[in-house]
Amino acid sequence: MAHLFPDLLNLYGDGGNVRVLAQRLRWRGVPVEVRRVNHGESIDLAGVDLVFLGGGPDREQRLASSELMRMRDELRAYVEDGGVLLAICGGYQILGREWLLGDEVVEGLGIVDITTERAAGGSADRLIDNIVLRSPLATLPVVGYENHAGRTRLGTGVEAFGSVASTMGCGNNEADKADGVRYKNLVGTYLHGPLLAKNPEVADHLLARALERSAARSGIAAPALAPLDDSVETGANEALCKRFGA
């Protein structure tokens, strides 16, 4: 598993998602290695089956984006080959065609057909709220928190991560009632929280895809993910949905 630029992209505990993924494997006796790739470092994705990118303030997002641009071809090939990638907020925006640094439009990686535009009211006009989604990746509603200035629009060949199911929260933009993106085994979302601590079904979906790919490479069957006791998370999910009007 590769955690890309944790020193730059780690808002609202986004790095906790990596700890959740690793711990859910350890609880099941599945060995896992987490490589933290800091600013200025590089990684060969050949032996990687899960990549994580968090969110960051504009300046850090720009620094991370320059590093990621150098990895662009390798990252694109990884995603096209079915590599699992989870990106939150700033990391999610960078995957698209272009995104915003204040009022400046910055070229993105172009790995998925999404575009992040400026808000009508400028970069101080942020979408900040709790939010609940319905996603095909989970049977329970997906709960989280969003805080972003960019408004993201999906292009062709991609699906949303989920539809907005709460009275609060916007997701990608004010109009679409949807959040995030899904393309092959790539998931991008505005949900901080951290997402996977609150939504273990999403964590297990990503882990299952990563284990399948890793096993296929070695020509063996993927280990089944034994069920874990998620009753605390399930109880919290119910309480949060009620509070957020979902």
Active site residues: 89, 192
Place of tokens 């808002």: 11
Query: Does residue number 55 form part of the binding site for ligand GLN (CB under 6 A)?
Result: yes
Stretch that binds ligand GLN, among 35-43, 51-59, 206-214, 235-243 (CB under 6 A): 51-59
Distance between alpha carbon 137 and the CA centroid of its chain, in Å? 13
Q: Is 42 helix (H, G, I), strand (E, B) or coil?
A: coil
Let me know: does 26 contact 203? Beta carbons within 8 Å. Answer: no
Query: Does residue number 62 form part of the binding site for ligand GLN (CB under 6 A)?
Result: no
**Residue of 1, 4, 11, 87 interacting with ligand GLN (CB under 6 A):** 11
Tokens of 85: 């990638």
What per-residue string of b and e applies to 219-229 under the rule 16 or more CB within 10 Å gives b? eeebeebeeee
Query: Does residue number 87 form part of the binding site for ligand GLN (CB under 6 A)?
Result: no
Query: Does residue number 148 form part of the binding site for ligand GLN (CB under 6 A)?
Result: yes
Give me the count of residues in the chain: 246
Least separation in angstroms between CB 45 and ligand GLN: 23
Residue among 105, 150, 88 nearest 124 (CA): 150
Distance between alpha carbon 213 and the CA centroid of its chain, in Å? 19
Residue number with CB closer to ligand GLN (114 or 207): 114
> Could you give phi then psi for residue 162, rounded to 5 degrees?
-165, 170
Query: Does residue number 149 form part of the binding site for ligand GLN (CB under 6 A)?
Result: yes
Query: Does residue number 198 form part of the binding site for ligand GLN (CB under 6 A)?
Result: no
Query: Does residue number 58 form part of the binding site for ligand GLN (CB under 6 A)?
Result: yes
Query: Does residue number 90 form part of the binding site for ligand GLN (CB under 6 A)?
Result: yes
Stretch that binds ligand GLN, among 63-71, 142-150, 194-202, 224-232 (CB under 6 A): 142-150
Q: Is 36 helix (H, G, I), strand (E, B) or coil?
A: strand
Query: Does residue number 150 form part of the binding site for ligand GLN (CB under 6 A)?
Result: yes
Least separation in angstroms between CB 55 and ligand GLN: 3
Write out the E strands in 58-135. Answer: 84-88, 98-101, 104-107, 114-117, 127-134
* Whole-number Å distance between alpha carbons of 241 and 246: 5
Least separation in angstroms between CB 139 and ligand GLN: 27
Q: Give the residue nearest to ligand GLN (CB).
A: 55
Query: Does residue number 89 form part of the binding site for ligand GLN (CB under 6 A)?
Result: yes
**Residue of 10, 17, 61, 115 interacting with ligand GLN (CB under 6 A):** 61
Sheet holding 162-164, edge to edge: 142-148, 127-134, 162-164, 178-179
Residue number with CB closer to ligand GLN (10 or 166): 10
| Residues forming the site for ligand GLN (CB under 6 A) | 11, 55-56, 58, 61, 89-90, 147-150
